[in-house]
Amino acid sequence: MTLPTPLTPASSPALVATAPGREYWFGLPALRTSARAARDTVRERLRSWGVPGDTCCDAVLLISELTTNALLHTDSDHVLCGLRLTGDERSLRIELHDDCPHPVQPPEHRAGPGEEGGRGLFLVQQLANRWGSARSTRAEGKVVWAELTAFS
């Protein structure tokens, strides 16, 4: 199993200006096992920050869906995952950067009971307070992001 590679402030200058311990980035290869590594990494980091259990569970599901979607629907060799608590620590932003330039659109229809896939972005849409897709400033393609209430 390939473990995530944390990025140090030296490898990502934008991290230097943030509050210590409240922003975390890690890269993963585009392998099926990376979704599990992303879940484990997010769970561990959010627990170390003291994020409540419900928010932690939702964030783990969100990173799993975003990672799986990128692995299945892009030709990226790797993905970059990020977690950031806002200054007041009320909001948690989850980001997934990949090398595909095409933005992600909201699901057009719900997957039927007999369909094996097609629920990932619907879950993201239902769990996140806000979510979206934009051109990435950290990769060659796009970023898909989701925000949750971290501490009420």
- Which tens digit of pLDDT belongs to each residue from 77-95? 999 999 999 878 889 999 9
> 33-54 burial, b if ≥16 CB within 10 A, otherwise e?
ebbebbbebbbebbeebebeee
Q: For residue 122, report the phi and psi dihedrals to the nearest 5 degrees.
A: -65, -40
Sheet strand arrangement including 130-135: 5-6, 23-29, 78-85, 91-97, 142-149, 130-135
pLDDT (average), residues 16-33: 78
How many angstroms separate the CA atoms of 20 and 151, rounded?
Answer: 18
The pLDDT > 70 percentage for the chain reads 77
Q: Is the pLDDT of residue 98 over 70?
A: yes
User: Options 1.10.287.3510, 3.40.140.10, 3.30.565.10, 3.20.20.70; which CATH number does 19-103+117-149 get?
Assistant: 3.30.565.10
Residue extents of the structural domains in the chain = 19-103+117-149
Q: What is the pLDDT of residue 111?
A: 57
Q: What is the pLDDT of residue 37?
A: 97
Q: What is the pLDDT of residue 112?
A: 61
Helix/strand/coil for 113: coil
- Which tens digit of pLDDT belongs to each residue from 117-140? 556 788 899 999 999 999 999 998
* Residue 106 half-sphere exposure toward CB, CA atoms < 13 A: 6
Q: How confident is the model at residue 2 (pLDDT cuts 50, 70, 90)?
A: very low
pLDDT (average), residues 38-58: 97
- Considering only residues 107 and 30, tell me which one the structure prediction assigns the higher pLDDT: 30
Q: Which residues pair with 25 in a beta bridge?
A: 82
Q: Which residues pair with 94 in a beta bridge?
A: 83, 146
